[in-house]
Amino acid sequence: MNILITAGGTSEKIDNVRTITNSSTGKLGSAIALAFAETYTQPTDRIYYLCGQNAVIPEADRISIIRIGSVNDLMEKLTGILTTERIDAVIHSMAVSDYTVDTLTTKSSIASSIADFISQNGPSAALEPETLTAQLIEKAFSGTDTLGSENKISSDIEDIVIVMKKTPKVIGMIKKLQPAALLVGFKLLSNVSPETLIDTGYNLLLKNNCDLVLANDLSGINELGHRGFLISPDKTYETFETKSQIAKGIVKRVHAILNNQ
């Protein structure tokens, strides 16, 4: 049996020294990796552990640690493994950034792009209600990326504006690359009701063809415990109160599903 686990958070570069990172520690992913490695009744041959730069590392035989930087880096390494190795289950606990840096600009640059647009096209063109917003969006962010993100942003610039764009949904790639692999998705929300959490987790399961989804909320994660709901395709769920319970619960369910295939 081969398992692929993603854990921790991705990091998107702003320039040579600054990154936007996710504060995920990788502790849950690490606990899951150890729970697979330590289940001797159903031995795991190999665990591919793809994790963020600052993530906690599980130490056990048969765990291969692969460090991940950006979302793009994650996609490349995930594709590499899923197209060359047979993987029985993918536990995708990594906090993948929804956004990456599109352009770096300044407030003044945005404003002068708009001023140029209005003076070139005349106020009446700019005031067409139907098209105004769309035109402004396009023009406001043209001619940007002049800060030289290849190097380090000068600290002399007064007003930096970071324009972000969406990243591809990594979870959606997994079953396309390896349809037979069991997929466990993760959903982390902040301060929502358990009903909303279960509904959102279940929607993730349906949308990405997951076999299980672990839904959790920041308010249920602290020094003492980690509340998680492990949702099944029939929308029933198990409730866990610690990382260790979640890890063992996922391993048990993954083994049960794989044994029934």
Strand partners, 239: 229
Structure tokens at 197: 């959490």
DSSP secondary structure of 40-91: -SS--SEEEEEEETT------TTEEEEEE-SHHHHHHHHHHHHTTS--SEEE
For the bound state, the minimum distance from the C-beta of residue 164 to its own copies, rounded and expressed in Å, comes to 4
Is the Cβ of residue 59 or residue 98 nearer to its own copies in the bound state?
98
Strand partners, 183: 90
Q: Which of 57, 177, 189, 258 binds its own copies (CB under 8 A)?
A: 189
Using CB under 8 A as the binding rule, the residues of this chain from 145 to 184 that contact its own copies are 151-153, 155, 158-166
How many C-alpha atoms does 94 have within 13 Å on its Cβ side? Answer: 32
156: helix, coil or strand? Answer: coil
**C-alpha to C-alpha distance for 257 and 177, rounded to whole angstroms:** 20
104: helix, coil or strand? Answer: strand
**C-alpha to C-alpha distance for 123 and 138, rounded to whole angstroms:** 17
Residue 10 sits in the site that holds its own copies (CB under 8 A): no
Is the Cβ of residue 100 or residue 232 nearer to its own copies in the bound state?
100
Is the Cβ of residue 174 or residue 182 nearer to its own copies in the bound state?
174
Binding mask 232-261 for its own copies (x = CB under 8 A): ------------------------------
For the bound state, the minimum distance from the C-beta of residue 111 to its own copies, rounded and expressed in Å, comes to 4
For the bound state, the minimum distance from the C-beta of residue 141 to its own copies, rounded and expressed in Å, comes to 6
Positions that interact with its own copies (CB under 8 A)? 9, 11, 14, 16-24, 54, 95, 97-99, 107-108, 110-112, 114-115, 118-119, 123-124, 126-127, 132-134, 136-137, 140-141, 151-153, 155, 158-166, 188-191, 218
